Structure 1
Amino acid sequence: MAGVDLYNANKGLRYGNENFTQDFYDHRWHGQGTSNSYPSVNIGGGQNYYANSWYVESGSYFRIRNIQLGYTMPGDYASKLGIQKVRIYVNAQNPAIFTKYKGFSPEVGGSILNGGGLPGTIGIDNDVYPISAIYNLGVNVTF
């Protein structure tokens, strides 16, 4: 997906005892001359937590959804083992995503009417859980 901007609300919200990201910590304002693009860690103080363009990031990404690599043993070798066919494979679902987005995943979903239980949250990453990667190894044997 390309050409999409997201509002990364995770930059300013902490739901428990989560740490700030390494990127935020490395680039935060912590005294005169330290940063003109990141606020201090006191996001909740003053007007730092108000909606502004600092929270908006490119949501463009490329994801590999499904990839499978397999090998089917030739029939003459399988017949020597007393079987018709043997196939060995590895499968990966969502193994990789390529993005510059700093949140967990640029796939935040939502809708204009109901996104994550909050009205009007389309395009807002507000503690969205990322899609899991699943890996399988298998053998198909036909007798």
Structure 2
Amino acid sequence: MDFQGVAGVDIYNANLGLRFGNENFTKDFYDHRWHGEGTSNTYPSANIGGGDNYKPNSFFVEDGSYFRVRNIQLGYTLPQRLVEKMRIKKLRVYANAQNALNFFKYKGFSPEIVGSFKNNGNVKANSDANINSGIDTNVYPMFATYNVGVNVTF
């Protein structure tokens, strides 16, 4: 098993105020947006292009704490007396999962934000400066991988 996590960090969720094309709002945002007197004040109006809704403020700051099961494997090696009958020295079956369990309250795809900056159109690792560190602007979601397999030794 391999675990990863972090606590006590904040993320600036710029995705709540930026739309880079015709992307849809999340259902949560749309259902709880302000759209007139007496409506929800959980989120601002969906009309983010006008007024002050898109300007940086504490509304966009969220808890970035998370805990992730990065890798977990469960396997079983069949007893020697069973596999010898099949003329096999060793037989093992296993199941493996990567990034299968993620626990976080962050409303974006992943609280694991890696800082980067653009220089002449090339994206470089943010080792020199923290220009975008902790800012989520359309981070690609983490994917989960599941494998099952058999190891056979003759």
* TM-score bin (small chain): over 0.9
Would you say the 8 A contact 2:109–2:141 is kept in 1?
Answer: yes
Q: Which residue of 1 aligns with 2:144?
A: 133
Would you say the 8 A contact 2:109–2:142 is kept in 1?
Answer: no
* 1:14 equivalent in alignment to 2:19: yes
Q: Give the TM-score taking structure 1 as reference length.
A: 0.92
Q: 3-state SS of the aligned residue for 1:90?
A: strand
Q: Which residue of 2 aligns with 1:27?
A: 32
Give the Cα–Cα distance (whole angstroms) in 1 for the partners of residues 53 and 14 of structure 2.
12
Q: Which residue of 2 aligns with 1:100?
A: 105
Would you say the 8 A contact 2:12–2:62 is kept in 1?
Answer: yes
Bigger fraction of residues in strand:
2
- Deviation above 6 Å: which 4+ runs of structure 1? none
Matches within 5 A, 1:110-125: 110=115, 114=117, 120-125=131-136
Give the Cα–Cα distance (whole angstroms) in 1 for the partners of residues 149 and 42 of structure 2.
49
Give the superposed CA RMSD: 1.6
CA apart distance, 1:35: 2.2
The match for 2:45 among 40, 48, 61 is 40
CA apart distance, 1:15: 2.1
The C-alpha deviation readout for 1:11-66, integer Å capped at 9, x for no partner, is 11112221101111111001101123311000111111100111110011110100
User: Once the two structures are aligned, what percentage of the paired residues are identical?
Assistant: 66
Q: Which residue of 1 aligns with 2:3?
A: none
CA apart distance, 1:141: 0.2
Would you say the 8 A contact 2:32–2:41 is kept in 1?
Answer: no
Q: Gaps spanning 5+ residues in structure 2: where?
A: 1-5
Amino acid at match of 1:127: N
Q: Give the TM-score taking structure 2 as reference length.
A: 0.86
Amino acid at match of 2:82: Y
Q: Gaps spanning 5+ residues in structure 1: where?
A: none
Q: 3-state SS of the aligned residue for 1:98?
A: strand
Give the Cα–Cα distance (whole angstroms) in 2 for the partners of residues 66 and 43 of structure 1.
39
